[in-house]
C-alpha cells in the first residue's frame, strides 16, 4: 500500500460524505417546503445543521486529497482543472448562497410553538434554496462522471454544466406554483 492509495481512498470517501451531505440537504429542504408545523420543521432544520457540521470538512478533504493526487502525478489534465472549478461552484452553491438564510430560518422555526405563520412558511419554500440544493446534486453527478471517465477538458466542462443545469431545471420545474407535487399538504385539501 502506498501513500497514493491511502490518499485516493480518502478522496473517494470524502466524495461519498459530500454526497451524504447533499442528500441530507435535499431531503431537509424538501421537507421544509412541505411542512406547516414547527415540530417537523425543527427536525428538518436539525438535519440541515448536522449536514452543515460535517459538510465543510468533507469538502476540504476532497480538495486536499485531490490536490495531492494531482501534484503527485505531476499532471494537470483538463478534467482536473474542471474538477477544481466545479469544487468552487459546489461550495458557492452551499454556504455563501444559502447558509445564512437557512440559519435565520432555523432560528425563526425554533421560536414558533405550533403552526408556522404564513410568512415563515413562504420563507421555507424559497425557490432559491431548492434550486441551489438540486443544482449541487446535479453538479456532483457531473463531477463523478468526470472523475470516472477522465475525459478531455471540453467534455468534462460540458458534463458538469449539464449536470448542474439538469438539477437547477428540475428544481425550477418542481417549484412552479400550481405544479403537482410542489406543496403536498395543499394538494390534500
pLDDT digits (tens, 9 = 90+) for 82-108: 999 999 888 888 777 677 788 888 889
pLDDT digits (tens, 9 = 90+) for 45-60: 999 889 888 888 999 9
First vs last C-alpha separation in the chain? 60
Q: Take residue 12 and report the three cell numbers written for it.
A: 473517494
DSSP lists the bridge partners of residue 115 as: 37
DSSP one-letter code for 181 = T
Q: In whole angstroms, what is the distance from residue 79 CA to residue 57 CA?
A: 23
Amino acid at each position: 500500500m502506498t501513500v497514493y492509495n491511502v490518499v485516493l481512498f480518502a478522496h473517494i470517501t470524502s466524495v461519498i460524505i459530500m454526497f451524504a451531505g447533499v442528500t441530507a440537504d435535499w431531503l431537509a429542504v424538501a421537507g421544509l417546503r412541505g411542512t406547516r408545523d414547527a415540530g417537523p420543521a425543527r427536525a428538518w432544520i436539525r438535519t440541515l445543521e448536522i449536514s452543515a457540521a460535517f459538510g465543510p470538512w468533507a469538502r476540504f478533504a476532497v480538495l486536499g486529497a485531490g490536490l495531492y493526487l494531482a501534484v503527485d502525478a505531476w499532471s494537470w489534465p483538463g478534467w482536473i482543472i474542471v474538477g477544481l472549478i466545479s469544487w468552487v461552484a459546489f461550495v458557492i452553491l452551499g454556504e455563501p448562497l444559502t447558509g445564512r438564510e437557512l440559519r435565520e430560518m432555523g432560528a425563526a422555526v425554533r421560536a414558533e410553538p405550533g403552526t408556522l405563520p404564513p410568512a415563515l412558511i413562504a420563507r421555507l419554500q424559497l425557490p432559491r434554496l431548492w434550486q441551489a440544493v438540486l443544482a449541487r446534486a446535479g453538479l456532483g453527478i457531473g463531477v463523478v462522471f468526470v472523475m470516472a471517465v477522465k475525459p478531455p477538458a471540453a467534455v468534462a466542462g460540458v458534463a458538469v454544466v449539464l449536470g448542474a443545469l439538469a438539477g437547477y431545471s428540475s428544481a425550477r420545474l418542481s417549484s412552479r406554483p400550481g405544479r403537482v407535487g410542489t406543496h403536498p399538504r395543499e394538494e390534500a385539501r
